[in-house]
Amino acid sequence: MAVTLSLVLLFGFLLALLLRSKTLGAGSAFVAVMFGFYLASTGAADTVNQLMRAIADALNNV
């Protein structure tokens, strides 16, 4: 739960910055999609959650 809430806040903050700076590109599209998945908690959110958790675990082990 704490990881999901943190990621929602992180992606929301990044999306707000990208929208304010009018930056367009693949990075902003990724941030917008990730923010939408976490915020909406759709059926795909579990898969995205597992992927992000795996990435976080991999980064902790580096």
Q: What is the pLDDT of residue 46?
A: 76
Q: What is the pLDDT of residues 5-62, one digit of tens each?
A: 777 778 778 878 877 887 766 677 787 777 777 777 666 667 777 888 898 888 888 7
- For the chain, the structural domain boundaries read 2-60
Q: What is the pLDDT of residue 41?
A: 67
Is the separation of the CB atoms in 4 and 49 below 8 Å?
A: yes
Is the separation of the CB atoms in 53 and 3 below 8 Å?
A: yes
* Helix pair angle (45-60, 2-21), 10° resolution: 100
